């Protein structure tokens, strides 16, 4: 397994982490809708994760860029730009006073990101050189997918 293989193995793990992050967001949003959590706590909790999530994704993109993985970089570029734009407009944080009005949009965005990370997860997995290790990863992947399906 060469350098690219290790890179994509790392990307697989990152994507899995981001995936979990998004699942957590979605669970929190549905908690809010069911009134299990109040908007202030929700925003305090989620806002801790927003910047780390954006940074992790940007870091991954930078890794692809520096290692010359152009396809993977271009795939990630739009999302990086979009996140950067939100930070620039200072609208990346969840606002407890407006959360109920904007909840639909937030959910849509989170679902989109979830789908994106899921697809990129499989893409990175595929790009890992076929090795016994990747079969191990693949089998654990299906476990993760099953878990997600269950949690939703």
Partner 1 sequence: MSSSPAQQLPPGWAAEWHESRASAIPIHWSVLSRLAANSNSEAPNHAETASGHTQWEPPSQLPESQPPSTAQPTAQSHHGKRRQYAAGQTQAYYGAAEVAADPGYGVAPGLQPQPAGGQLFTPGLASENQFQAQQAQVPGQPSYYSQQPPDQPLAYGADPAATAGGYGSQPGQQPQYIQPGVDALAGQFGQMGLAGGQKQFQLYTSNLLTSPPEPKELHRPPPEIRLPPNSSISPSPLANADPSYQRCTINAIPTTSSLLNKAKIPLALILTPYRSLKDGDEPVPVVTDTVIARCRRCRTYINPYVQFIDGGNRWRCCMCNMSNEVPQLFDWDTARNQPGDRWSRAELNHSVVEFVAPTEYMVRPPQPAVYVFLIDVSHAAVQSGMVATATRTILENLDRIPDEDQRTKVAIICYDTSLYFFSVPPGSDSSMLVVSDIDDVFLPKPTDLLVNLAESRPTLEALLGRINDMFQENNIIGSAMGPALQAGFKLMSPIGGKIVVLSASLPSVGAGALKNREDPKILGTAKESGLLQAASPFYKTFAIDCSRAQVSVDMFLFSQSYQDVASLACLPHYTSGQTYYYPAFNAARPEDALKFAREFGDVLAMPVMLEAVMRVRASRGLRMSSFHGNFFVRSTDLLAMPAVPQDQSYAIEIQIEEALTTPFVVFQTAVLHTTCYGERRIRVVTLALPTTTNLSEVFASADQIAITTLLANKAVERSLTHKLEDARDFVYQRLVDILMAYKTSMTSGGAGASAQLAISDNMKMLPVLVLGLLKNVGIRQSAQIPPDIRAYAQALLTSLPSQLLIPYIYPTFYSLHNMPAEAGTVGEHGIILPPALPLTSERFERHGLFLIEDGQTIFLWVGRDAVPQLITDVFDLPGYDVLRGGKITLPTLENEFSQRINAIVQKIREMRRGVYYPHLYVVKEDGEPPLRLWALSALIQDRADVLPSYQQFISSLKEKVNTT
For residues 97 and 139, which CB has a smaller minimum distance to partner 1 in the complex? 97
Binding site residues, partner 1, CB under 8 A: 32-33, 35, 38-40, 95-97, 99-101
Smallest gap from residue 25 Cβ to partner 1 (A):
18
Sequence-ordered list of residues with C-beta below 8 angstroms from that of 46, at least 6 positions apart, any chain? 25, 28, 94
Smallest gap from residue 54 Cβ to partner 1 (A):
18
- Report the distance separating Cα 118 and Cα 89, nearest Å: 27
For residues 34 and 143, which CB has a smaller minimum distance to partner 1 in the complex? 34
What stretch of H or E contains 136? helix 132-151
For residues 26 and 80, which CB has a smaller minimum distance to partner 1 in the complex? 26
Sequence-ordered list of residues with C-beta below 8 angstroms from that of 122, at least 6 positions apart, any chain? 141
Smallest gap from residue 34 Cβ to partner 1 (A):
8
């Amino acid at each position: 397994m060469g350098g690219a293989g290790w890179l994509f193995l790392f990307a697989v793990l990152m994507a899995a982490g981001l995936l979990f992050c998004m699942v957590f967001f979605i669970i929190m949003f549905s908690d809010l809708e069911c009134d299990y959590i109040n908007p202030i706590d929700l925003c305090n909790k989620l806002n801790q994760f927003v910047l780390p999530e954006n940074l992790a994704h940007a870091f991954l993109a930078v890794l692809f860029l520096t290692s010359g993985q152009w396809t993977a970089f271009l795939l990630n570029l739009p999302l990086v730009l979009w996140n950067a734009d939100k930070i620039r407009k200072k609208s990346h944080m969840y606002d407890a006073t407006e959360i109920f009005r904007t909840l639909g949009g937030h959910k849509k965005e989170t679902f989109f990101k979830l789908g994106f990370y899921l697809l990129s997860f499989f893409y990175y997995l595929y790009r890992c050189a076929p090795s016994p290790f990747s079969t191990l990863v693949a089998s654990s992947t299906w476990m993760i997918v099953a878990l997600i399906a269950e949690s939703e």
